[in-house]
Structure 1
Amino acid sequence: MENGSYIGPGIWIRMQHRFGPRMTEWFLAGHTALWGFVLIYSDDIFNQPAWAGFRDIFGDSLFLGYVMMMLGFLRIGGLIVNGARKDVTPVIRQFSAGVGFFIWCLISYGYASSGVISTWLAIYPLFAVGELVNINRAAHDQGEARNGRT
C-alpha cells in the first residue's frame, strides 16, 4: 500500500464505491470528449448558422475538436487515478470541474453569439451549473480528507 494505492481487488471496490457520487463528473468528462469527436469528424460543422459564434471565436472546428477530446480524456484519466487511490485527490477534481465550467460557459456563449435559439439553451448552461455542483462536492471531499468525516 505504498503511495496511497492498493493492489488487487481493493482498487476495483474503491472505484465502484466512488463512482456513484462522481457520476456527473464522469458524464461531463465523456461528453466533453465526445463533443470534440463530433467536431473532428463532422465536415464543415461551423458553416451551419447555429455555429457562427464558434466560427468567429475559434475559426477551425478541427482545432477545437482536438482540444475538447484532449480535455475530456485528461479528465477521465484524473477520475481513474482519483478513484484508484486510497487517499482522495479532490484538487484534481476541483480543477477539472472548474475547467469544465469554463468549457460549458464558452460553449453556451458560442451558441448564444450565433443568434440562433435552439435546444442548446436547455443543455449547456445546465452543464455549467452541474460543474459548479461538482466543484462543491470535490471541495466537500477535500474537507473530509483533511478533517475527517462529520
Structure 2
Amino acid sequence: MLYREASQAGPGLWIRIQHRFGPRMTEWMLATVTALWGAVLVMNPNIFDQPAWSGFRAIFRDEAVVGWIMVGLGFLRIGGLIVNGARKNVTPWIRSVSASLGCCLFVGITYCYWQSGIVSTWLAIYPVFAVVELLNVYRAAHDAGESHAPH
C-alpha cells in the first residue's frame, strides 16, 4: 500500500487520510449529525415543549444541556477520526468506542421519539442511524483485529 511507504508528514499524511476517509464516511457523517442535532437543541430553547418531543421532556429537563453534550460528543468524534486518519499506526478502538456511543445515542433518540406516541419521519431516520452505527462498530472492531494481526 502506498501510504505505508510515505513519510509521516506531508504527502504521506494526506495519502493516509484519503485512503481511510472513504470506508469511514458513515462515521464522519454520523459524527456531524450528532453535533448538528445538538446545535438544533441549543438554538431552540423550547423544542422539548412540542408534542413530538414529549419523550425527551420526560427524560431531560433542559434542551441546552442535552444540546451542548451532543455538540461536544460530535466534535470529539470528529477529532478522534482526524487523529485516527492522520496517524501512521491506526487506533481503531477510538472509532469502536465512539461508534458504540453513537449507536446508544441514536437508540436513545429513537426511544424518546417513540415515547411521544407521534409517528413521524424519525421512524425512517434514527433507527437506521443506530443500525449503521452497529456496522461502524463491526468495521472498527475488524480493523482492530487486523491491526493486531502479524504482518
Normalised TM-score (structure 2): 0.93
Correspondent of 1:143 among 132, 142, 145: 145
| CA RMSD of superposed structures (Å) | 1.2
Per-residue CA distance 1:105-145 (angstroms, 9 max, x = gap):
00001100011110000000010000000000001111111
What's 1:15 paired with?
Answer: 17
Q: CA deviation at 1:36?
A: 0.3
Correspondent of 2:73 among 71, 74, 77: 71
Output the CA distance in 2 between the equivalents of 1:84 and 1:6.
9
What's 1:46 paired with?
Answer: 48
Return 5+ residue gaps in structure 1 as ranges. none
Partner amino acid, structure 1, of 2:43: Y
What's 1:81 paired with?
Answer: 83
Output the CA distance in 2 between the equivalents of 1:102 and 1:27.
16
Correspondent of 2:105 among 103, 106, 110: 103
Per-residue CA distance 1:76-101 (angstroms, 9 max, x = gap):
00000000001110000000000000
Secondary structure of the residue aligned to 2:88 is: coil
Output the CA distance in 2 between the equivalents of 1:104 and 1:10.
35
Return 5+ residue gaps in structure 2 as ranges. 1-6
Partner amino acid, structure 1, of 2:71: M
Output the CA distance in 2 between the equivalents of 1:84 and 1:143.
19
Normalised TM-score (structure 1): 0.94
Q: CA deviation at 1:67?
A: 0.4
Q: For this pair of structures, how many residues does the alignment match? A: 145
Q: CA deviation at 1:43?
A: 3.5
Identity of aligned residues (%): 63
Output the CA distance in 2 between the equivalents of 1:114 and 1:148.
51
